[in-house]
């Protein structure tokens, strides 16, 4: 079953969510308006029809932008949920089909209220197009300077990965940048350090190594803290999605200086794996900040990397 869902974005960056009416599958849960494709329809055609039927608005398909595609299974009901950003329409959205509709900043929406397949879509609306990672061999002072300049440049999602430094030194750095991070609404992910992330709380999350994916049996942090994972194949992506990770990195897309022996995926294989994954995926490995467009064209949320990013 192919389902299309529209994420309407208003001028203030708020998005529209709708509560499923009583009597329907997932009644009472919040979702993005849309529905099943009818025979002969493309996803944009179906979305135009559904948003007219459910909200009474006329959308401009030229404003559509692919957000993310989430394959999902509820019991014996398998579906592909395709989310599309909608930025232009005429008319005022009304709850013609939903129990209720609501406009909200994506950061203020509680993912627990959403239909499970919509949680990765909400994550995609919150995640930026860049995910810089600190170089592994820098000093504390250099790492702090890199973080400060990245935040000043507008980066809002960063990974602190300093395998050469003792945990206490890394925690000292986090404590130092935390007030600024929180003031900016930015997120800092600690490499592998679940306990550290839990202790710092808001604004800090964890980036899991692939080896940790198989040791965990549940999401290691509450929904209010970001959990990401390093993946290299379909099995790891499926594991990351099953644990409820907010996103994954998939690498290496190209030959990279940090992992010279690893076989690169190339863009076509990256795109196939990212499309089949049930969570947003960043392209990583041999890429720079300018590869964002190429990444979006290959089903990525954005690009991640070390060199060129910080």
Binding stretches for ligand 8DG (CB under 6 A):
3, 5, 24-26, 31-32, 34-36, 79, 81, 115, 117-118
In whole angstroms, the minimum distance from the beta carbon of 77 to ligand 8DG comes to 6
Question: Are 130 and 302 a contacting pair, CB within 8 Å?
Answer: yes
Bridge partner list, 30: 19, 114
Residue 251's contacts (CB-CB under 8 Å, 6 or more residues apart) are 230, 231, 232, 259, 262, 265, 283, 284, 285, 304
Calculate ∠ Cα 208-174-146, nearest 5°: 90
Q: How far is the CB of 279 from ligand 8DG (least distance, A)?
A: 14
* Other C-beta atoms lying within 10 Å of the C-beta of residue 164: 9
Least Å distance, CB 20 to ligand 8DG, is: 7
Q: How far is the CB of 187 from ligand 8DG (least distance, A)?
A: 24
Cis peptide upstream of residue 252 (ω within 30 degrees of 0) = yes
The region that residue 56 occupies, defined by phi over 0 for left and psi between -120 and 50 for alpha, beta otherwise, is: left
Query: Shortest Cβ distance from residue 43 to ligand 8DG (Å)?
Result: 12
Residue with smaller CB distance to ligand 8DG, 29 or 231: 29
Distance CA 283, CA 303 (A): 5
Residue number, 3 or 173, with CB nearest to ligand 8DG? 3
Closest CB to ligand 8DG among 118 and 291?
118
Cα–Cα distances (Å) from 219 to 13, 82, 139, 213, 241, in that order, read: 28, 24, 31, 10, 10
Please identify, using beta-carbon distances, which residue of 5 and 197 lies nearer to ligand 8DG: 5
Tell me which residue has its CB nearest to ligand 8DG: 35
Least spacing, CB of residue 241 vs ligand 8DG, in Å: 14
Looking at the Cβ atoms of 103 and 139, the one nearer to ligand 8DG is 103
Q: Which is nearer to ligand 8DG, 106 or 205 (CB)?
A: 106
Query: Tokens for 133?
Result: 């990672």
């Amino acid at each position: 079953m192919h389902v299309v869902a529209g994420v309407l974005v208003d001028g203030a960056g708020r998005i529209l969510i709708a509560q499923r009416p009583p009597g329907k599958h997932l009644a009472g849960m919040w979702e993005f308006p849309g529905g099943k494709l009818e025979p002969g329809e493309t996803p944009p055609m179906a979305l135009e029809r559904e948003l007219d039927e459910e909200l009474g608005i006329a959308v401009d398909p030229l404003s559509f932008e692919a957000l993310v595609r989430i394959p999902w299974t509820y019991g014996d009901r398998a579906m592909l949920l395709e989310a599309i950003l909608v930025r232009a329409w005429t008319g005022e959205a009304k709850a013609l089909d939903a129990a209720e509709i609501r406009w909200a900043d994506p950061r203020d929406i509680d993912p627990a209220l959403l239909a499970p397949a919509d949680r990765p879509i909400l994550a995609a609306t919150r995640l930026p197009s860049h995910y810089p990672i600190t170089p592994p061999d820098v000093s504390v002072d250099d790492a702090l300077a890199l973080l400060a300049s990245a935040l000043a440049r507008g980066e809002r999602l960063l990974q602190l990965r300093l395998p050469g430094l003792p945990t206490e030194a890394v925690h000292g750095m986090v404590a130092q940048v935390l007030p600024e991070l929180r003031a900016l609404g930015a997120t800092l992910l600690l490499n592998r350090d679940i306990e550290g992330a839990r202790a710092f709380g808001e604004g800090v999350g964890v980036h899991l190594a692939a080896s940790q994916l198989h040791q965990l049996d549940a999401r290691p942090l509450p929904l209010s803290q970001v959990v990401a994972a390093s993946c290299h194949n379909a099995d790891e992506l499926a594991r990351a999605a099953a644990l409820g990770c907010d996103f994954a990195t998939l690498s290496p897309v190209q030959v990279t200086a940090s992992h010279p022996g690893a076989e690169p995926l190339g863009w076509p294989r990256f795109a196939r794996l990212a499309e089949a994954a049930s969570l947003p995926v960043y392209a990583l490995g041999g890429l720079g900040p300018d590869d964002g467009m190429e990444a979006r064209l290959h089903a990525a949320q954005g690009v991640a990397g070390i060199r060129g990013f910080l």
